[in-house]
Amino acid sequence: MAQTGANPIISDLRDRIRHLDGATARPKSVLPFGVAEIDTHLPGGGLAYGALHEFAGGGAGAVDGAATALFVAGIAARTKGKVVWCLARPDLFAPALAQVGLHPDRVIYVEAIKEEFVLEACEEALRFGGLGAVVAELVRLPMVASRRLQLAAEGSGTLGLVVRRWRRQTEAGDFGHPTAATSRWRISVLPSDPLPVPGLGRARWLAELIRIRAGESADFVIGACDGQGRISISSDAADGSGQTRRSVHTG
């Protein structure tokens, strides 16, 4: 006897194939950092929209972790639209995000009681679309979970940003495991820019691009994000001048 109804499994597979075909055909766009030394290392000249990007502190300490969160907040600040920030530890300092351009009126905070729920919220927000960026704070990012987030970002064209946070030193090793993220970054705090008079100069970070799809890894000494989420890059890494050049991209 012939089947009169469509097989739901086959229908689901066809929908997935159409979804993937549409994602592949969609033109890719990028968010530049606005400094040539970084953007020339990124395929297309910036961080790809419709993709997942992963960030971690250079160590397991709170200082590098805070710098990583601010680096990501600066990226999100230069996008257009609302930003969804998913987290399980309610210790994010909103005034610090505002100082790098990510103001409270743009951020929708999603607090979850477990990390599994953070993953679910992030995936749902990425699939929703129409957002500037979706940020998720995670200790672990298994390959299967990262693939789901990557596919969700591809489907909507949204910028996905994962901040890896460690509660203890032993967890930091999980960052060495492969994920489906399009790019992976490691941020470490450096001594601030020297001033001609006694005082505190602009904060500096070491931004390590440790993996980029279709590109090469690189290290950058950068000035911390300003009030519009823009960074500077120290030219002493290239020509020894000791000066910095300001990013001109404003999102």
Tens-digit pLDDT profile for residues 31-78: 999 989 999 999 999 999 999 999 999 876 788 889 999 999 999 999
204, two tokens:
């500096």
Q: Which residues, 6+ apart, have CB-to-CB distance to 198 below 8 Å?
A: none
pLDDT of residue 50: 97
* Statement: residue 231 has pLDDT above 50: yes
List the one residue out of 79, 75, 67 whose CA is nearest residue 164. Answer: 67
| pLDDT category of residue 11 using cuts at 50, 70 and 90 | low
* Statement: residue 24 has pLDDT above 60: no
74, two tokens:
């600066």
Strands 232-234, 83-87: pairing is: unpaired
- 26 neighbors 135 (Cβ within 8 angstroms): no
* Statement: residue 9 has pLDDT above 70: no
Tens-digit pLDDT profile for residues 205-229: 999 999 999 889 999 999 999 999 9
* Statement: residue 16 has pLDDT above 70: no
Poorest-pLDDT segment among 3-7, 107-111, 201-205:
3-7
Residue 86's DSSP bridge partners are: 110, 136
* Statement: residue 2 has pLDDT above 50: no
Q: Could you give the CA distance from residue 147 to residue 151 in angstroms, rounded to a whole number?
A: 6
For residues 128-136, average pLDDT? 95
| pLDDT category of residue 190 using cuts at 50, 70 and 90 | very high
Q: Could you give the CA distance from residue 151 to residue 24 in angstroms, rounded to a whole number?
A: 11
* Statement: residue 197 has pLDDT above 80: no
Residue 138 neighbours by CB distance under 10 Å: 23
* Statement: residue 250 has pLDDT above 50: no
Q: Could you give the CA distance from residue 161 to residue 110 in angstroms, rounded to a whole number?
A: 14
| pLDDT category of residue 187 using cuts at 50, 70 and 90 | very high
Tens-digit pLDDT profile for residues 110-120: 999 999 999 99
Q: Could you give the CA distance from residue 84 to residue 76 in angstroms, rounded to a whole number?
A: 10
* Average predicted confidence (pLDDT) for the chain: 84
Q: Does an H or E element contain 245, and which?
A: strand 244-246
